[in-house]
Structure 1
Amino acid sequence: MSPLHFVWGITGSGYIIKESIDLMEQMQKIHNVDLTVMLSKEGAVVVKWYKHWDYLNEVVKKIKVEVSPNNPFLAGPLQIGKYDFLLVCPLSANSVGKIVNGIADTLVTNCIAQTIKGGIPVYLLPSDQHDTPIVTSRTDGSPLILKIRDIEIENVKKLRKMNGITVFSDFTELKNFLINSNKNIIL
């Protein structure tokens, strides 16, 4: 069976970064997955800020960091189906706002727009989507409680209505998707 081949995007949100990298590691070590990770410029900043840059580089062999919205060139290969799908987790509130307003001015938002145009599935986990505060971590590991603004919740509602996009409600839903989308992945 050929490996599941997809791009995992990371934007500038600290929400569940460690958990995301842990899942990437599981998928590559245990399961039949060919993974490319792309980071927006701010995604790279946040991964480094949380001191997970070295861990990400140990876990993933193919890491692409944004130089411009089309460099490295992933939008074309995504659009024509060289990958099975595009997954972005975490997706920052800033990126959600851009997507729902048709702005594709970062590597991740451009890849989302072009992937949708090519009819390839896009799966997103926005960090700021529920009206209850979220608990994330500070760089020292201590908890940080964030209140989500109304505009962020409204933008995620708009995102859920967009054709070609599936929005996950939480990280467990994302993991369950990966389990059920390909029977050679059992987490």
Structure 2
Amino acid sequence: MIVKGKRRRVAWGITGSGEKIEETVEIMEEMKSEYRKEFDIRVYVSKAGDQVLKYYNLSNTLETMFDKTWTEINANAPFLAGQIQMGNFEFLLLAPATSNTVAKISLRIADTLLTNAAIMGQKTSTPIYVMPTDFREGITTTKLPNGRDLELKITREDAQHVKNLQDMENTFVFEHPNEIPAIFEKYVASD
């Protein structure tokens, strides 16, 4: 329940994927604007995510649009996992999440800022929302920073890690950035 005048914190984690990054940033800008009274969205960027944001010319957009943005130094810095452990966030949103990030969470490897935070969230019943870039096995087409298409093969193994996440407690997997508004609405509607 929202305490009048107090905004709930949301941690948004960005990994090193360009897949749907532009759409995700646009949607998150809309969420910040629409829910500015209800939520304080804090952005946490992996080391690889920092590089990808620069490739897509989105770094300045994030820093301008979101007041609180941090880039990974190591698995515990900034201290996101500890803040999640203490219940300081309503939920953790990983969007987009690389196959590497998804596999590490699936295999319980907490050696990056965002995998550590996700696994700690699972241990403390903080809801984790993950938008994997490699959602299902098969061929997919993504956009490069220069606008060209790149065709990628999503392997059975990558798709299996997504299925593993779907079976984990307090972990919710979704496919497209246009599903993000429903996540925020769920928390507003529950008040």
TM-score, normalised to structure 1's length?
0.91
SS in 1 for 2:172: strand
How much has 1:6 moved relative to structure 2?
A: 0.5
How much has 1:169 moved relative to structure 2?
A: 2.8
Query: Partner residue of 1:157?
Result: 163
Q: Which runs of 4+ in 1 moved over 6 A?
A: none
Moved more, 108-117 or 25-34: 25-34
CA contact 1:24–1:60 (8 Å) conserved in 2: no
For residues 63-97 of structure 1, what are the alpha-carbon distances to aligned partners after superposition, in whole Å with 9 as ceiling and x for unaligned?
A: 11100100011111111211111110001001111
**Match runs of 1:129-144 below 5 Å:** 129-144=135-150
How much has 1:132 moved relative to structure 2?
A: 4.0
SS in 2 for 1:182: helix
CA contact 2:27–2:178 (8 Å) conserved in 1: no
SS in 2 for 1:47: helix
For residues 109-168 of structure 1, what are the alpha-carbon distances to aligned partners after superposition, in whole Å with 9 as ceiling and x for unaligned?
A: 000111111111111111101234333211112332322111111111111111221111
How much has 1:102 moved relative to structure 2?
A: 1.0
Structure 2: distance between partners of 1:124 and 1:24: 14
Q: CA RMSD in A?
A: 1.7
Structure 1: distance between partners of 2:140 and 2:9: 31
1:67 aligns with 2:53: no
Query: Partner residue of 2:127?
Result: 121
1:81 aligns with 2:87: yes
1:45 aligns with 2:54: no
* Gap regions ≥5 residues in structure 2: none
1:6 aligns with 2:16: no
Structure 2: distance between partners of 1:64 and 1:147: 32
* Gap regions ≥5 residues in structure 1: none
- Equivalent of 1:29, from 10, 29, 33? 33
Structure 1: distance between partners of 2:184 and 2:170: 17
CA contact 1:24–1:59 (8 Å) conserved in 2: no
CA contact 1:79–1:116 (8 Å) conserved in 2: no
SS in 2 for 1:173: helix
CA contact 1:15–1:90 (8 Å) conserved in 2: yes
- Equivalent of 1:20, from 7, 24, 30? 24
Structure 2: distance between partners of 1:161 and 1:30: 31
Number of corresponding residues:
184
CA contact 1:7–1:85 (8 Å) conserved in 2: yes
Structure 2: distance between partners of 1:141 and 1:54: 19
Whichever residue aligns with residue 175 of structure 2, its letter is S
